[in-house]
Amino acid sequence: MTSLAIGGHVDLEDPIAEAVARGADLSQFFLGDPQGWKGPVVAYAGGAEALRVAAEEAGIALYVHSPYVINVATTNNRIRIPSRKLLQQMVTAAAEIGAAGVIVHGGHMLAGDDLGKGFDNWRKCIEGLDMAVPVLIENTAGGTNAMARGLERIERLWEAVTVASGGDTVGFCLDTCHAFAGGEELAGLVDRVKAVTGRVDLVHANDSRDAFDSGADRHTNLGEGSLPADGLVEVVRSAGVPVVVETPGGVAGQSADIAWLRDRLA
């Protein structure tokens, strides 16, 4: 039996019950519409404090995934400024429910933009954040102007955020599907990531519907996609940090994926 905490990405109404249904140790969820700009909503009965207490009593760790619309790197002021505001709201709300961290995608630049401006915009964002809980930047699968596709970009991003005041609070979320689809071999991946970030704080263990270096962000259940099974397990074992499966199939699909991982990590 592995000692690693493993869970799934679940609906926001009752992440405790969702974890129990999966036999999981943690739950990741959105605090509202993942495609919208509205501020966070704690849907749990009794609100933020009730969720924090219930999670502590149940021994369930909580992680908040920020909305996909957030892009703090862009030079488009109409996107960047609201992104910073919304990320701050998510961090504050995550602290209120006792979450372990807030996951956010690296974002991207417009065609023809200087990528250096995007990395510097990340620095400015971190310097302006009141980080009551860690922000975990997640690697992404596609986009020629993406900030966090491939280790070369991630290294530049990390150089920018770590010089910022508060940069030592920023963590890294390693997604196996995104890495594979983004052109990174899984063998030795954790060591290569740590060589540029110094850390991995959370793993998103997802199989990929699409081929290596496809640039496509399409998750499928573990063992059913293009990822080499032994490589996926090696990433999880080598990282030695909490794991989230963001796979389809609801309770049944994710329970099977959690069991799949636990069997291979035993």
Listing DSSP states for 83-109 in one string gives HHHHHHHHHHHHHHTT-SEEEEE--B-
One-letter identity of residue 31 = L
Cα–Cα distance, 148 to 175 (Å, whole number): 11
The one-digit pLDDT tens for each residue of the chain (266 residues) are: 689 999 999 999 999 999 999 999 999 999 999 999 999 999 999 999 999 999 999 999 999 999 999 999 999 999 999 999 999 999 999 999 999 999 999 999 999 999 999 999 999 999 999 999 999 999 999 888 999 999 999 999 999 999 999 999 999 999 999 999 999 999 999 999 999 999 999 999 999 999 999 998 999 999 999 999 999 999 999 999 999 999 999 999 999 999 999 999 99
Nearest to 189 by CA among 142, 131, 230, 130: 230
Half-sphere exposure of 48 (CA within 13 A, CB side): 14
Q: How far apart are CA 156 and CA 123, in angstroms?
A: 11
pLDDT, position 143 = 82
Residues 6+ apart with CB under 8 A from 263: none
Q: What is the pTM of this model?
A: 0.97
Q: Which two tokens stand for residue 75?
A: 């030079």
Pairing of strands 207-208, 219-220: antiparallel
Q: Rg (Cα) of the chain, in Å, rounded?
A: 17
Q: What is the number of alpha carbons within 13 Å of residue 73 lying toward its C-beta?
A: 24
Strands 171-175 and 219-220: unpaired
Question: Could you give the residue ranges of the DSSP H alpha helices within 27-76?
Answer: 47-58
173 touches 244 (CB < 8 A): no
* Side-chain half-sphere CA neighbours of 185 within 13 A: 4
Residue 53: its pLDDT value, please? 98
What's the sign of the alpha-carbon dihedral 113, 115, 116, 120?
positive
Q: Which domains does the chain have, with CATH numbers?
A: 6-265 (3.20.20.150)
The pLDDT of residue 154 is: 98
Strand pairing of 135-138 and 171-175?
A: parallel
Burial class (CB in 10 A: 0-12, 13-18, 19+), 163: exposed
Residues ≥6 apart with Cβ < 8 Å to 10: 18, 19, 22, 27, 28, 29, 254
